[in-house]
A and B are shown apart, each in its own frame.
Chain A
Amino acid sequence: MTLIYPKESLSSFPKHLSPGYRSTVKRSPSKPLIVVPHTLSELTGPVYGHDAIQENDNDLTKQGKGEPLGERIIVHGQVLDEDRKPVPETLVEIWQANACGRYVHIVDQHPAPLDPNFTGAGRAVTDKKGYYKFITVKPGAYPWGNHHNAWRPNHIHFSVFGHSFLTRLVTQMYFPGDYLFPYDPIFNSVTEEKARARMVSVFDLDNTIPDWALCFRFDIVLRGREATPLDEDRH
């Protein structure tokens, strides 16, 4: 299978400069990006298989002596390409705030408690059908300094590899119906509604485990689709 990476697909991405998110003002390129062809260097990428993870890396509720506080949840989904073909055996990494909205990080001084049983970091490798699964607790919202009374919607950070260095994706998974959506410049840096919807997980009653944990489904669509002869000609 030959994958190509049409640049038009990136139109769902935020612009580098998105002044509503203040930190982009000095951290976005000001000169035009240089267009270059995709070479072997971009069309290849690292492979991290099951030996890259350890037992319980995908269960954030079992990394401490006891269970973390908060609302236990399951987050699962499929990593797919643009043709909805599963991306098997690829590394998925997550990190998140605890149920109180506090990260294990020296810079995070939000006056909310740390949880000695929760670090907020996890990893999984997708199976042959592109599936991954995490067990964690629902992260809390937290304030940040972007503007007066700024609060981040509840979110889990995701880092995904995919087939090549071009598919590399760092994103955030949000929860359905969050009342902070209209006020968050990071979420709204994605200007198309349909594209924003891609970042919002779906409540999954079918996979919710009775008497134990709510489930949210988050499919991740990476760049890349199968080449057609027409596409090959264009390259």
Chain B
Amino acid sequence: MSEIITPSQTVGPFFAYGLTPKGRAKWDPDGTYSWKETIGDNLVTADATGERIRIEGQVTDGDGLPINDAMIEIWQADAQGRYASPRDAGARPNTKFTGFGRSATDKNGVFGFDTIKPGRVAGPNGKTQAPHVVVCIFSRGMLRQVYTRLYFSDEASNGEDPILNLVPGDRRGTLIARKEVRGGQPVYRFDIRVQGKDETVFFDI
């Protein structure tokens, strides 16, 4: 008999100082606090190899209004398809790249990450997954997080991805981040529509 697990509750509107302090926690009345960001929105480490990319998007609600108090977390493999986790039975990254990031949305509902484009990783039944990032969204008004995935518009392997192929064809596009080039750097645009028309696909996992 398993234990009842601890239920989720909303992250609420006031998480910034605790979870995403950088640039937001303007609270240091006498200069004594040394509270530092543990997890940020820049995943790139000097020793990580691979293509440097930026991921950006806007989170909107059922009325199409920006959600300005959401927190987005991402989890991904490195460019060689290795997860920095002891639960990955394959090779570990040999760099400081953690593959985990956290970004709070700004007043326009926009989040962003600087990272490395992930490589392909093993999928179910001996198949290989297309490069992707697992995305988790927390917000006031969300009593539990929702999970989605970000795929890359310039990846031919999307067509054979075992997870993407479980998504109805007319909704698959919500998971594809569109490549733009800005100042010579690839930027993948990934808007998240929490509800309504063109609602982003969320996973029951």
Interface residues of A (CB under 8 A from B): 5-7, 9-10, 12-16, 18, 21, 23-48, 52-54, 57, 63-65, 80, 82-84, 91, 93-95, 97, 103-108, 116, 119-123, 157, 159, 163-166, 168-172, 186-187, 189-190, 192, 194-196, 198-199, 220-223, 225
Contact = CB atoms under 8 A, between A and B. Distances in A.
Interface string B8-30: 11111111111101000111011
Given A28-B195, A170-B9, A12 B4 contact: yes
A186 B10 contact: yes
A26 B122 contact: no
Interface residues of B, number: 84
Given A54-B34, A159-B15, 15 more contacts: A16-B142, A27-B67, A34-B203, A44-B85, A45-B100, A46-B39, A47-B98, A106-B26, A119-B33, A123-B38, A169-B8, A172-B9, A195-B7, A221-B5, A223-B5
Contacts of A39: 121-124, 129, 162-163
18 contacts: A5-B205, A26-B141, A27-B140, A34-B167, A38-B205, A40-B121, A40-B122, A44-B85, A44-B87, A64-B32, A104-B27, A105-B17, A119-B35, A165-B134, A186-B9, A189-B9, A199-B7, A221-B4
A82 to B, nearest CB: 4
A13 B88 contact: no
Contact of A46 (B69, B75, B124): B75
